């Protein structure tokens, strides 16, 4: 087996690459030409999923080996306005990967979608896997692009491509060299930039558990099937209280009502834009924190052997990694 990972310098992609290499696998890692934090011990390929021709070398010269493609590259966006780059990477990029998998007869494709691609159900009803996806049934640019791309992958699977889909929930954990939203939350809390929390919460999951689930799906994921890789619902206050216990930093006692945050979210987006940082709170993220996030990972557990670890351990490892890397 030869593994090809797109988005290998991203948070999830880098952890998958690391875990495959540590288990003795051969890995081809696709990274953008200007990436600073490149995976160690993987064979690096420079390209962009939006440029189909730049991807061809990743599929060639296999020397009889079977190619397993893990398509991780994507832009996670909580921005409220349309962004062409998000569409081009998440949709066009995925179509390019699927088309090349078919052209070069890849052994397996695992597409990393998102729980956001799955239509929300009323509060109190658990969300499980579905088989039909449409941008019209979900809210927000990110969700719509993931739904469209997922539909394209599953259509290819129905036409014979050995492909399956995984849907991670909100990813958190160590090894994020970028500015993921939850990494930013931990940093801002530690540096005492965060003076208030918000009501609401979401299903947050350790990046290493998601990586394990994806690697397991390479072997066990069934063609045309989807697997939710979630953990459980956490209130934002639970996360911040755990960070207080881990770090000894000031406990957040003030939690802003949703109506107030909704009014101020557009100003927060503008503020973070001036700082050239991803915003912690936007109109879309506030919507998400108050949506139904009761996801079930029962299917992944029973078919892939998927497991999750304690959130406090995840947060402790995240804080320690950020310290080791001079981020806090």
Contact 212, 237 (CB under 8 A): no
- Say which CATH topology domain 2-173+203-232+294-308 has: Rossmann fold (3.40.50)
**Could you tell me the sign of the dihedral formed by the alpha carbons of 186, 187, 192, 197, in that order?**
negative
pLDDT band per the 50, 70, 90 thresholds, residue 262: confident
Worst-scoring range by mean pLDDT, 22-26, 93-97, 188-192, 271-275?
A: 271-275
124 or 267: which carries more pLDDT confidence?
Answer: 124
pLDDT in tens, 182-201: 999 999 999 998 889 988 99
Predicted confidence (pLDDT) at residue 270 exceeds the cutoff of 90: no
Worst-scoring range by mean pLDDT, 17-26, 112-121, 180-189?
A: 180-189
Predicted confidence (pLDDT) at residue 82 exceeds the cutoff of 80: yes
Predicted confidence (pLDDT) at residue 280 exceeds the cutoff of 80: no
pLDDT in tens, 313-325: 999 999 999 999 9
Q: How far is residue 231's CA from residue 168's CA, in Å, rounded to a whole number?
A: 9
Predicted confidence (pLDDT) at residue 284 exceeds the cutoff of 90: no
Predicted pLDDT of residue 152: 98
pLDDT band per the 50, 70, 90 thresholds, residue 105: very high
pLDDT in tens, 35-74: 989 998 999 999 999 999 999 999 999 999 999 999 999 9
Long-range contact pairs involving 28-33 (C-beta distance under 8 Å, separation at least 24): 28/2, 28/3, 28/4, 28/58, 29/5, 30/4, 30/5, 30/6, 30/55, 30/58, 30/73
All residues at 6 or more sequence positions from 236 whose CB lies less than 8 Å from its CB, including other chains: 197, 198, 199, 200, 201, 255, 289
Q: How far is residue 179's CA from residue 278's CA, in Å, rounded to a whole number?
A: 7
223 or 279: which carries more pLDDT confidence?
Answer: 223
Say what the alpha-carbon torsion angle 293, 298, 299, 301 is, to the nearest 10 degrees.
Answer: 120
Q: How far is residue 39's CA from residue 8's CA, in Å, rounded to a whole number?
A: 7
Predicted pLDDT of residue 241: 98
The domain spans of the chain are: 2-173+203-232+294-308
Kindly state the tokens that stand for 252.
Answer: 């957040």
Task: Average the pLDDT over 251-265 and give the result.
Answer: 88
**DSSP-assigned letters across all residues of 196-237:** -EES-EEEEEEHHHHHHHHHHHHHHPPTT-EEEE--EEEEHH
Worst-scoring range by mean pLDDT, 84-88, 178-182, 201-205?
A: 178-182
DSSP single-letter state for residue 67: E
Predicted pLDDT of residue 260: 85
Q: How far is residue 113's CA from residue 289's CA, in Å, rounded to a whole number?
A: 19
pLDDT band per the 50, 70, 90 thresholds, residue 16: very high
Q: How far is residue 153's CA from residue 149's CA, in Å, rounded to a whole number?
A: 6
Task: Average the pLDDT over 198-216 and give the result.
Answer: 96
What's the whole-number average pLDDT of the chain?
Answer: 94
pLDDT in tens, 163-188: 999 999 999 999 999 888 899 999 99
Predicted confidence (pLDDT) at residue 80 exceeds the cutoff of 80: no
Contact 249, 190 (CB under 8 A): yes
């Amino acid at each position: 087996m030869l593994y090809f990972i797109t988005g290998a310098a991203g948070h999830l992609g880098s952890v998958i690459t690391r875990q495959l290499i540590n288990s003795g696998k051969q890995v081809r890692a696709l990274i953008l030409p200007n990436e600073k934090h490149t995976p160690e011990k993987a064979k690096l390929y420079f390209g962009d999923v939006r440029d189909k021709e730049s991807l061809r070398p990743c599929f060639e010269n296999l020397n009889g080996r079977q190619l397993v493609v893990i398509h991780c590259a994507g832009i996670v966006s909580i921005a409220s306005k349309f962004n062409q780059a998000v569409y081009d990477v998440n949709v066009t990029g995925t179509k390019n990967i699927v088309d090349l998998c078919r052209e070069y007869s890849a052994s397996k494709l695992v597409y990393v979608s998102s729980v956001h691609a799955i239509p929300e159900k009323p509060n109190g009803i658990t969300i499980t896997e579905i088989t039909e996806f449409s941008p019209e049934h979900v809210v927000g640019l990110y969700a719509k692009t993931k739904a469209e791309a997922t539909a394209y992958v599953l259509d290819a699977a129905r036409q014979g491509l050995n492909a399956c889909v995984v849907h991670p929930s909100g990813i958190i954990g160590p090894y994020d060299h970028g500015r993921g939203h939850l990494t930013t939350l931990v940093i801002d809390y530690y540096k005492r930039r965060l003076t208030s929390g918000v009501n609401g919460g979401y299903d947050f999951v350790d990046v290493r558990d998601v990586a394990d689930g994806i690697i397991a799906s390479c072997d066990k994921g069934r063609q045309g099937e989807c697997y939710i890789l979630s953990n459980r619902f956490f209130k934002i206050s639970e996360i911040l209280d755990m960070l207080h216990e881990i770090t000894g930093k000031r406990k957040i006692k003030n939690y802003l009502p949703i109506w107030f945050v909704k009014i101020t979210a557009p100003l927060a987006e503008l503020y973070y834009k001036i700082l050239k940082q991803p915003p912690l709170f936007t109109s879309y993220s506030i919507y998400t924190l108050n949506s139904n996030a009761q996801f079930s990972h029962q299917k992944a557990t029973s078919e892939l052997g998927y497991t999750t670890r304690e959130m406090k351990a995840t947060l402790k490892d995240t804080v320690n990694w950020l310290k080791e890397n001079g981020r806090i």
